[in-house]
C-alpha cells in the first residue's frame, strides 16, 4: 500500500509537497528565532536535521531523474546559502554546526530513499509480478 505512493502517477503531488516544504523551510530558517518551547539545548540542530532531511527526501521523490549526488549537492548548497544569508540578518547568525546538521539530515534522507527503493519504477515492478 505504501509502495503505491511512489508510483510515477504521484510525481506531481510530490513536486507540490517539495515546493511547499521548500518555502516553509526558507521561511523558518530566515525568520527571527522563536521560542519552540523545547528545552533541549541543541533543538535548533534537530530542526535543521529534520528540515533539510525533508527537503532532500521530497526533492528525491519529486525529481526522480536527479541522481542522489545531485540531490545532496542541491540540498547542501541551499544549507550553505541559508547560513550565509543568516550571517547578514540581525536576528540570526552563521553556524558550521547548523550546516553539519543539515548535511546529516540530507544524507539520512538519501539512505531512506535508497533503502526504500522509492525511486525505482514501481509501475514496471507491479506489471512484472502480475
One pLDDT digit (tens) per residue for the chain, 130 residues: 456 666 667 789 999 999 999 999 999 888 887 665 666 777 789 999 999 999 999 999 999 889 999 999 999 999 999 999 999 988 888 999 999 999 999 999 999 999 887 766 544 444 444 4
Query: What is the rounded distance in angstroms from the CA atom of residue 28 to the CA atom of residue 49?
Result: 13
Cell 547578514 identifies what position? 88
> For residue 37, is it left (φ>0), alpha (ψ between -120 and 50) or beta?
left
pLDDT of residue 129: 44
Q: Which residues, at least 6 apart from 101, have a Cβ–Cβ distance to it below 8 Å?
A: 45, 46, 48, 49, 52
Query: What is the rounded distance in angstroms from the CA atom of residue 102 to the CA atom of residue 95?
Result: 11
> pLDDT tens, 20-47?
999 999 998 888 876 656 667 777 899 9
Cell of 84: 550565509
How far, in Å, are 15, 17, 36, 41, 47 from residue 60 at the CA level? Answer: 10, 12, 29, 31, 20
pTM: 0.82
Amino acid at each position: 500500500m505504501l509502495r503505491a505512493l511512489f508510483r510515477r502517477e504521484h510525481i506531481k503531488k510530490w513536486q507540490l509537497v517539495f515546493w511547499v516544504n521548500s518555502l516553509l523551510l526558507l521561511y523558518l530558517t530566515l525568520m527571527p528565532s522563536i521560542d519552540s518551547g523545547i528545552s533541549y539545548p541543541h533543538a535548533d540542530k534537530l530542526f535543521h536535521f529534520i528540515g533539510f532531511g525533508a527537503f532532500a527526501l521530497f526533492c528525491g521523490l519529486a525529481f526522480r531523474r536527479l541522481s542522489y549526488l545531485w540531490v545532496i549537492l542541491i540540498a547542501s548548497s541551499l544549507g550553505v546559502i541559508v547560513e550565509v544569508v543568516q550571517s547578514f540578518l540581525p536576528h540570526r547568525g552563521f553556524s558550521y554546526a547548523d550546516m553539519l546538521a543539515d548535511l546529516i539530515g540530507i544524507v539520512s534522507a538519501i539512505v531512506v530513499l535508497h533503502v526504500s527503493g522509492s525511486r525505482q519504477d514501481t509501475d514496471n515492478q507491479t506489471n512484472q509480478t502480475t
